[in-house]
Structure 1
Amino acid sequence: MGSLYYGNATEPVHVPDRLLAHVKVVIATKLRRNESFTLSWRHPGDVPGGRSTLWMQPAIPLRFVFETDETEMLDPQVLKEFANAANSSSGLVLDLERAIPGAAGERVHARVA
């Protein structure tokens, strides 16, 4: 399970490594272009509150921490889906309970709300 640290928050957002690898590429691409957007997700059952949204912009510190030291294989279709969602008015909405196809054969989805 990877971690996304944003701004001055001391508690990270926990994201599966494979999903985080794809999200990292989309975020880095958008921020490199100075394009701000929202990143949202529903909280797992053991986390208080229902959902969260981050306003992603270049001026806010951001750090990705992966549990494994192996580089994840990226799925071009998932990257395209995530980029399209990030470009929408709803932003990138993650489903943290699914996984992207890979070694485990699982899949994670972003959706446009």
Structure 2
Amino acid sequence: MGTLTYDSTAIAFDDRLLLHLQIVIVNKLRRRESFAMSWRDAAETGDGRSAIWIDPSIPLFFKYDGSRVPTINREWLALLAESAGSSTGLIVCAEDGSPERAARFFDHERSHRGRTPAPY
């Protein structure tokens, strides 16, 4: 299970899915294109959907748990790239086109809001 960290938000995806997302996202950002990305939430965070606006000026980090590079499915890449170029933005989906859930979703900023800072 890998993690895509975008600004203060970390989203966990299967390594193979994450690699396909990385290729699509990097291709869009190389062209300095901003776009939306949405996914189904992990079961433990509810049955909703989440979305972020991906912009070239915001830090982005891909972390893979496995050491092997997964195989690439060009048809899946084309499906993801097509959605990234549409008005709906990049919709995270499985290889068969069905909605794909994030394994985890964690927003560092939201999780620390309202807490009293620890004394130094």
**Partner of 1:103 in structure 2?**
none
Pairs aligned (count)? 100
Residue 36 of structure 2 corresponds to residue 38 of structure 1:
yes
Per-residue deviation at 1:48?
Answer: 4.5
Percentage of pairs with the same residue = 37
Kindly indicate which of the two structures has a greater share of residues assigned to helix: 2
- For residues 97 and 31 of structure 2, the distance between their equivalents in structure 1, rounded to whole angstroms, comes to 25
Per-residue deviation at 1:94?
Answer: 1.4
Gaps in structure 1 of 5+ consecutive residues = 101-106
Structure number, greater radius of gyration: 2
Report 1:41-60 matches (<5 A): 41-48=39-46, 50-60=48-58
**Partner of 2:24 in structure 1?**
26
TM-score (norm 2): 0.75
TM-score (norm 1): 0.80
Larger RCO (alpha carbons 8 Å, 6+ apart): 2
Q: 1:63 to 1:109 in 2, by over 3 A?
A: farther
Per-residue deviation at 1:44?
Answer: 1.8
Residue 82 of structure 2 corresponds to residue 84 of structure 1:
yes
Q: 1:66 to 1:109 in 2, by over 3 A?
A: farther
- For residues 98 and 81 of structure 2, the distance between their equivalents in structure 1, rounded to whole angstroms, comes to 12
Residue 82 of structure 1 contacts residue 110 of structure 1 at CA under 8 Å; is this kept in 2?
no
Mean alpha-carbon deviation: is it higher for 20-29 or for 44-53? 44-53
What letter is aligned with 2:3?
S
Gaps in structure 2 of 5+ consecutive residues = 101-120
